[in-house]
Amino acid sequence: MSELETLQEPGAPHVSVLLDEVVSALAAGPGDIVVDGTFGAGGYTRAILATGASVIAFDRDPTVQRFAAEFSAADGRFRLIQDRFSQITAYLEDASADGVTLDLGVSSMQLDEAERGFSFMRDGPLDMRMGADGPTAADLVNELDPVELARILYVYGEEHASRRIASFIVKRRAERPFTRTLDLAHVIERALGGRKGAKVHPATRSFQGLRIAVNAELEELEAGLAAAERVLKPGGRLAVVTFHSLEDRIVKNFLAERAGRTPGGSRHAPPVEAGAPSSFQLISSKAIAPGEAELAVNPRARSSKLRAAVRTQAPVWSAA
């Protein structure tokens, strides 16, 4: 979500991206069970409940519990599980869901809460964890060797000056460790020669790379897509909203593979068996992008893409 922080107005509420398109792709109705794998503030959940369907929501972020209260009157049709969406299969039986939706990346709420450490525009602890466990971004920048740190910035942040930035970080941390977001952002800015009028902050890609590494987001996405394939009924629908090319490439390749359009495999998961019957049918051959009307009221949607597919009766694909 490389453009989110630059475009998001400070204090603006979280707005669910491509909401109408996601609801249309899911085509849920009374009696259906839909998994909202990234609950957040409950935007998708609210719209899905309005169709008469039931929602089982997942979110690893314990702070989202405060948004669940409004759904307590949903006649028992709502349940929030504090866990990663890759763990769907631990709570749902195979072929038990009529829909699964995922809204990836970091939310406006997380950016607005400086103490979470996601923002390079607000000073806070250098954390970046979506959950409550595991290493923080401070652990990575203070402990990783320069080669691995540069790799994270290059692969996950798509930062072409990753080696130079890593060098500046390592040199500065020898004097004192990084503990605050703005401290790191300023060092990255110096490494890149300042802003020079750029619309996108110099630290944008580096912060994205660190956040993805801290939360193992790409591995989580791979596992979550495989879990969705397993829990969806024949005719069940999958709708995934991505915000940057790394996420979108994984979703695009997964669905293309499962629809029989490309050879199996990706760099984040083992190759899948060749020649397996298609387990998904694409709803659209191209990603769905937001319209001008949505962009006018919600700049966060600018880089978003929706990909959706219908589960076939074919067996779940297995790793080769």
pLDDT digits (tens, 9 = 90+) for 118-154: 788 889 999 999 988 899 999 999 999 999 999 999 9
**Known binding site for S-adenosyl-L-methionine: residues?**
42-44, 59, 85, 103, 110
Residue 298 per-residue DSSP state = -
Nearby residues of 152 by Cβ (< 8 Å), 6 or more positions away: 140, 144, 162, 209, 210, 213
C-alpha 93/C-alpha 104 separation (Å) is 24
pLDDT at 181 over 80: yes
Find out whether 242 and 3 touch, Cβ atoms under 8 Å: no
Task: Output phi, psi for 186, to 5 deg.
Answer: -70, -40
* Beta strand 33-36 pairing with 54-58: parallel
**Known binding site: residues?**
42-44, 59, 85, 103, 110
Q: What is the mean pLDDT of the chain?
A: 89
Find out whether 218 and 250 touch, Cβ atoms under 8 Å: yes
Q: How many other CB atoms are there within 10 angstroms of residue 15's CB atom?
A: 17
Nearby residues of 313 by Cβ (< 8 Å), 6 or more positions away: 234
**Least confident span in 87-91, 112-116, 258-262:** 112-116
Torsion of CA 296, 299, 302, 306, to 10 degrees: -90
Tell me, what's the pLDDT at 10?
Answer: 39
Task: Retrieve residue 21's tokens.
Answer: 């398109």
Nearest to 272 by CA among 319, 316, 228: 319
Task: Retrieve residue 227's tokens.
Answer: 């879990």
- Amino acid of residue 140: L
Helices (H) and strands (E) in the chain, counts: 12, 7
Sheet with 97-103: list strands edge to edge.
78-81, 54-58, 33-36, 97-103, 232-242, 305-311, 280-282
Per-residue pLDDT reduced to its tens digit, 56-87: 999 999 888 989 988 987 789 999 999 999 99
Per-residue pLDDT reduced to its tens digit, 206-215: 999 999 999 9
pLDDT at 289 over 80: yes
Find out whether 18 and 301 touch, Cβ atoms under 8 Å: yes
Reported as a pLDDT band with limits 50, 70 and 90, residue 265 is: low
Task: Retrieve residue 188's tokens.
Answer: 């990255």
- Amino acid of residue 108: S
Task: Retrieve residue 218's tokens.
Answer: 């790409």
Reported as a pLDDT band with limits 50, 70 and 90, residue 108 is: low
Q: Which strand (E) or helix (H) includes residue 238?
A: strand 232-242
Find where tokens 């760099």 sit.
267
C-alpha 195/C-alpha 121 separation (Å) is 13
**Least confident span in 77-81, 140-144, 192-196, 241-245:** 192-196
